[in-house]
Amino acid sequence: MEHFTIATVAEESPDFRRVLWTGKHTQLVIMTIPPDGEIGEEVHEEIDQILTFVSGTGEARVAGERRKVTQGDLVVVPAGTRHNFVNTGPNPLVLYTIYGPPEHADQAVHHTKEQAEALEEAGEDEPPSS
């Protein structure tokens, strides 16, 4: 059995993205967006995503709508939906997200957004094949 005290694990991670667990149909990932940072606008054509915010303040930009997000908020991003999440506060925006199906390589750790983007472009951040 996998067990996480998810808010604590997420708060303690300095990494932009860290894959905690990957299953056949879903994946659990924690993220830390630095002040003035963002995830970056993207669309996952075949992947649903659920994001839960642990700390910090930010703005969800989903399907052309904008809404403030803070601790305890949850945002659902259906497959095929353009989205971005931006840190608007002075502290890191910390969250955990569930992808279905998995989006990233199992156990991937991306220390920065730049590293994450470079690995994605090189094709080195592929999810496990079914």
Report in angstroms the alpha-carbon separations of 32 from 11, 37, 53, 87: 8, 9, 10, 10
> What's the pTM?
0.90
Close Cβ partners of 65 (under 8 Å, ≥ 6 residues apart): none
Q: What is the pLDDT of residue 129?
A: 64
Q: What is the pLDDT of residue 117?
A: 84
State how far the Cα of 29 lies from the Cα of 103, in Å rounded to an integer.
10
Residues 49-79: tens digit of each pLDDT: 999 999 999 999 999 999 999 999 999 999 9
CATH code, residues 6-121: 2.60.120.10
**Which residues, given as ranges, of the chain have pLDDT below 50?**
none
Task: Say what the alpha-carbon torsion angle 71, 41, 96, 98 is, to the nearest 10 degrees.
Answer: 130
Q: What is the pLDDT of residue 130?
A: 52
Provide the residue ranges of all domains of the chain, joining segments of one domain with +: 6-121
Q: What is the pLDDT of residue 121?
A: 82
